[in-house]
């Protein structure tokens, strides 16, 4: 399924989430409006390193970031492997791969439309630099 946020589209594999598409869209809308800091959705992660990285990313608090290297050290792997796992996150935004950045402080890729620009906007929103949205909720 596709969800719209900040005039861009994020593709989410809804088969990995137990709740309905309507519930997912409502929570994304609340997040965009800064009325929600955590998603209350049941996500089934894939096996292997991608699932381990997704679990680690889901523990990064709202408004904070970690580097690929920090996650790699925690998971006893390499930053490149963490980056590859982030790129395979089937539920970006819900599992916040936008909170992972390079060790140099630079934002690296993001799988949603508009890539790094979308990642930058999500982080700005979470760090209080974005504007609160006033649009109507997305309808199915």
CATH number at residue 18: 1.10.10.10
Total-model pTM: 0.86
Please state, in angstroms and as integers, the Cα–Cα distance from residue 129 to each residue in 13, 31, 34, 91, 111, following that order: 29, 14, 11, 24, 22
Is the pLDDT reported for residue 139 higher than 80?
no
CA dihedral of residues 12, 115, 81, 27 (deg, nearest 10): -30
- Domain count along the chain: 1
Number of residues in the chain: 140
Tens-place pLDDT, residues 5-27: 888 889 999 999 999 999 999 99
In a domain, 137, yes or no: no
Banded model confidence at residue 130, pLDDT cuts 50, 70, 90: low
Out of 17, 24, 57, 97, the active site residue is 97
Q: Please, which pLDDT band fits residue 136 given cuts at 50, 70 and 90?
A: very low
| 135: in domain | no
Domain that holds residue 58: 2-126
The pLDDT tens digits for 90-124 are: 999 999 999 999 988 888 878 777 788 889 999 99
Spacing of C-alpha 4 from chain mean position: 13
Cβ partners under 8 Å of residue 139, min gap 6: none
Q: Which of 28, 9, 7 is nearest to 17 (CA)?
A: 28
Take residue 44 and report the two structure tokens written for it. Answer: 């089934």
Query: Measured in whole angstroms, how far is the alpha carbon of residue 128 from the centre of its chain?
Result: 17
133 assigned to some structural domain: no
| Residue 131 in domain | no
Quick one: which of 129, 113, 122, 109 has its CA closest to 37? 122
Does the residue 109 lie in any domain? yes
Does 96 map to a domain? yes
**Cα-atom radius of gyration of the chain, to the nearest Å?**
14
Active site residue 86: no
**Statement: residue 138 has pLDDT above 60:** no
C-alpha–C-alpha distance, residues 107 and 43, integer Å: 25
Residues 108 and 68 sit within 8 Å (Cβ to Cβ) = yes
pLDDT tens column, 32-76:
999 999 999 999 999 999 999 999 999 999 999 999 999 999 999
């Amino acid at each position: 399924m596709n969800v719209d946020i900040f005039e861009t589209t994020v593709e989410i594999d809804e088969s990995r989430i137990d709740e309905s598409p309507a519930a997912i869209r409502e929570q994304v809308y609340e997040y965009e409006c800064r009325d929600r800091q955590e998603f209350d959705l049941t996500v089934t992660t894939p096996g292997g390193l991608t699932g381990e990285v997704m679990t680690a990313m889901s523990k990064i608090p709202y408004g904070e970031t970690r580097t690929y290297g920090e996650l790699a050290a925690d998971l006893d792997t390499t930053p490149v492997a963490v980056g590859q796992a982030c790129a395979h996150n089937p539920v970006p935004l819900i599992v916040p791969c936008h909170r992972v950045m390079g060790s140099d402080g630079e934002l690296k890729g993001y799988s949603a439309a508009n890539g790094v620009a979308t990642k930058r906007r999500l982080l700005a929103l979470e760090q209080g630099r974005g504007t609160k949205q006033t649009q109507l909720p997305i309808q199915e």
